[in-house]
Amino acid sequence: MDLDQISRPGRVADTDEAISAEELALAARNHGIPLEALRYDLTPPGLHYLLIHYDIPLADAETWQLAIGGRVARPTTVTLADLRARPATTVRVTMECAGNGRARLQPRPVSQPWLVEAVGTAEWTGVPLRDLLTDAGVDPGAVDVVFTGADHGIERGVEQDYQRGLSLADAMAPEVLVAYAMNGQPLPPQHGHPVRLVAPGWYGMAHVKWLRDITVTDTPFTGYQNAVAYRLRHQPGDDGDPVTRIRPRALLVPPGFPDFMSRTRVVDAGVHLLEGRAWSGQAPVTAVEVSADGGRTWAAADLEPDTGHRWAWRRFTHRWSAAPGRHQLTARAHDATGAAQPVGQDWNRGGFANNAVQLVDVVCR
């Protein structure tokens, strides 16, 4: 049987084509953060967004083995007990799916239909990857490190284990972890139990869950998730640049209370303290601005002092004087590379790394 018959090619929706039952099925499996949970520094358990390409594997922490091999002097296999016996590091990380914002693009890339909510912040504890690689003895000619999860599926006709590569230089960054705890607890099944990679600053696809194998290679990795899936393409045949680090983004906690279906917010006239979170994986956030007219005029928000958590979001606040009528709130983040969020869309076929500003419709009474 030809698997192409059940596996969809990558495509872009027709003009005015509604979200399909297939996209809804993905959205129901892979939930986002409820935007009101942006109030917490650390996203409470269960409210962190989720993205799982295939199925959550059934994993036993007692018997789990992580193989480390390829272009190393001393290939090895480590258990969870081996990892726990080593010096641990904890890093606070804001993780965001590269497809965040996709569902608002025109035309819409058909995939997991995120609006803006594919983000969360957790404290990950584990062993720095570079300690494990250094102990294994990386060969001088090594170029990439390939991470393989225990999950398996088909994507656009290609059967595969979920697998991503990082360059050796990126893999050796001190903040990259082989993590076994999330917010001080064993990883939950949906977040990679018992072991995952955490690559702070990178879009979510790099943080391989249910990690079972680390292989050092002396040729560039050309697996599906690096060479085919996560590329910024404008035409179907483009080679496309790889999706890498998180572009700046700010999200507001929607003020007031919501209408059930439209999610339009209702607030009373007067001064409201708006709050939100801003992050960038490229460079530290330098400023956040807020607009109450859909991005036509902007005012500087108050960015809370840097708490030293380089890889985590920062809180911002802004006093907004609401007058009766309809408003459209938004915020935009700037980072130290000079990048800022676009008000309009920056379209690509996969809808990746799309950081167009959030729009929050508000009725003030």
Ligand X SMILES: Nc1nc2c(c(=O)[nH]1)N[C@H]1C(S)=C(S)[C@@H](COP(=O)(O)O)O[C@H]1N2
Helix spans in 32-164 (H): 80-84, 129-136
Which of 114, 202, 210, 279: binder of ligand X (CB under 6 A)?
210
Question: Which DSSP state fits 43?
Answer: P
Which of 205, 214, 357, 360: binder of ligand X (CB under 6 A)?
205
- The count of other CB atoms within 10 Å of the CB of residue 131 is 15
Helix or strand or coil: residue 125?
A: strand
Distance of CA 190 to the CA centre of its chain: 14
* Count, residues near ligand X per rule CB under 6 A: 18
User: 37-56: which residues touch Mo ion (CB under 5 A)?
Assistant: 51
Distance of CA 196 to the CA centre of its chain: 14
User: 93-112: which residues touch ligand X (CB under 6 A)?
Assistant: 95, 97
Q: Which is nearer to ligand X, 56 or 274 (CB)?
A: 56
- Shortest CB 255 distance to ligand X, Å: 26
Regarding 204 and contact with Mo ion (CB under 5 A), the answer is yes
Listed residue (49, 85, 43, 83) closest to 65, CA to CA: 83
Q: Token pair for residue 17?
A: 């084509």
Q: What is the DSSP string of 243-274?
A: P-BPPPEEEEPPPSEE-TTT--EEE-SEEEEE
Regarding 97 and contact with Mo ion (CB under 5 A), the answer is yes
Regarding 50 and contact with ligand X (CB under 6 A), the answer is yes
Regarding 193 and contact with ligand X (CB under 6 A), the answer is no
Q: Which is nearer to ligand X, 43 or 291 (CB)?
A: 43
Partner interacting with residue 53 (select from ligand X, Mo ion, none; CB below 5-8 Å by kind): ligand X
For 132, residues 6+ apart whose C-beta sits below 8 A from its C-beta are: 68, 78, 178, 214
Partner interacting with residue 95 (select from Mo ion, ligand X, none; CB below 5-8 Å by kind): ligand X
User: 136-155: which residues touch ligand X (CB under 6 A)?
Assistant: 149, 151
CA gap 52, 54 in Å, rounded? 6
Partner interacting with residue 35 (select from Mo ion, ligand X, none; CB below 5-8 Å by kind): none
Respond yes or no on whether the N-terminal peptide bond of residue 194 is cis (omega within 30° of 0). Answer: yes
**Segment near Mo ion (CB under 5 A), from 96-104, 143-151, 175-183, 268-276?**
96-104
The footprint of ligand X (CB under 6 A) covers: 48-53, 95, 97, 149, 151, 162, 191, 204-205, 207-210
